[in-house]
Structure 1
Amino acid sequence: MTALLNTVERVELDRYLGTWFEISRLPLKYEDEGARDITATYSLNEDGSVRVDNRCIDDAGLPAQALGEARPVDDTGARLTVSFLPEYLRWIPFTKGDYWVIRLAEDYSVSLVGTPDRRNLWLLARDHDLPQAVRSDYLNTAREQGFDLSHLITPRQSGRVVEMGDQ
């Protein structure tokens, strides 16, 4: 049996909000392998949930967007569930994914996020150009936690947030 995935002790969600650039990830069935300029922007909804706005330029060179909602599982803010289904279907239990913050820079500039089954992993940063030494250090944390990084994807990043209508 796989050991429980360790998370950071606490995430101050108000500090975590804002735009993050995807530096690396494990392959996802719902995201093109050749997608570029991938960002995730988090903002607070009136009900206390977090609005998730993922954007990229897809394999065809077109802007793509996925809107979702995240909710903390407990009062630490380190474990959340995320759903990208339409709002009227989000009540269905098996339609949510896990979003666990495994490591977070003290200044909230770099975040390593994964799922407890270790199938999904994201290395996110506030800046699109993360120094290689920092990247390697965070990915080593993922390895230590049992993630297989043999298929890791590092998307191209230009440093811009995709506007819907961009091409």
Structure 2
Amino acid sequence: MTAMGRKRTFGLWLEWVESLRPVVRAYDGGTTNRFRRSVGMERTSKLLALGGIGLAAIGLAACSTLVSRHPVGNRSVPQPNKSVDLQKYLGRWYEIARYEQSFQQGCEGVTADYSLRADGKIDVLNRCRKPGGKSSEARGRAKVVDGETKAKLKVSFFGPFYGDYWVLDHADDYGWSIVGEPSGRYLWILNREATPEEAEIQKLIDRAKGLGYDTSMLLRTKQP
């Protein structure tokens, strides 16, 4: 196996190990510090970033088993403050800004497409374009876990492993959305337009700040 092949294999192994952490946490019952915090979005955001929106990169030294977590941008993530009409939430979203992750470095033109399935779940199609023009996509599925507001969902791109997707705030006309998850390490600002006016973008950044997020950590996403 070539050096490049070994590197890719090691990377895939790390992804697989990380994907198991939510399962271990579920059986652990939240009593062990190692798995106490929500990490489901780490796996999900990794795969989302391959094709679009996006969700955590793992910093592991080759000779160490320690996990380097991403910085927390909000230590008290609020509950979603509005109910979500899934029919209105469907369709295409453009990523306007995000908390940068190592796996998303250089990712541009990020989009997410949602469509309703016959079984009530949501099909997810995410796309990402690198500066050199190479694009990739990832397909997954989402399910509502809060039947009252429908603002909390779980998203999966790999078997039974799901990560959190919280619609923390959105426009009444579903023109924009602010998406996060419980750990406060991930944040996405989405819009129906690829290039909204600067005043609109700043308004959304201010709303994210009002939700408790450190907006200095936001990276603006380039859209065509």
TM-score bracket for the superposition, by shorter chain length: 0.7 to 0.9
Alpha-carbon distance in structure 1 between the residues aligned to 2:77 and 2:223: 32
For structure 2, which runs of at least 5 residues remain unmatched after alignment?
Answer: 1-74
Deviations 1:40-99 (A, max 9, x none): 0000112111111000212442111011111111121111111111xxx22xxxx32111
1:71-82 alignment runs, 5 A limit: 71-75=143-147, 76-82=149-155
Q: What amino acid is aligned across from residue 53 of structure 1 in structure 2?
A: L
User: CA RMSD for the aligned pairs?
Assistant: 1.8
Match of 2:108 in 1: 36
Q: Which has the larger radius of gyration?
A: 2
* Corresponding residue of 1:164: none
Query: How many pairs were matched up?
Result: 150
* Structure ranking higher in strand proportion: 1
- Name the residue aligned to 1:149: 215
Paired residue type of 1:119? R
Q: Map Cα deviations across residues 114-145 of structure 1 (whole Å, 9 max, x no partner).
A: 11211111111111112222222221222222
* Matched-pair identity in %: 38
**TM-score computed with the length of structure 1 as normaliser:** 0.82
Higher-RCO chain (CA-CA 8 Å, sequence separation at least 6) = 1
1:162 match: none
Q: Which residue of 2 aligns with 1:125?
A: 191
**Structure 1: tracts of 5 or more residues without a match:** 159-167
Distance 1:134 1:116 in 2: 26
The answer to whether the 8 Å contact 2:77/2:181 transfers is no
Which is richer in helix? Answer: 2
Runs (4+) of structure 1 exceeding 6 A deviation are none
Cα contact 1:103–1:138 (8 A) shared by 2: no
SS in 2 for 1:153: strand
**Contact 2:82-2:169 at 8 Å conserved across structures:** no
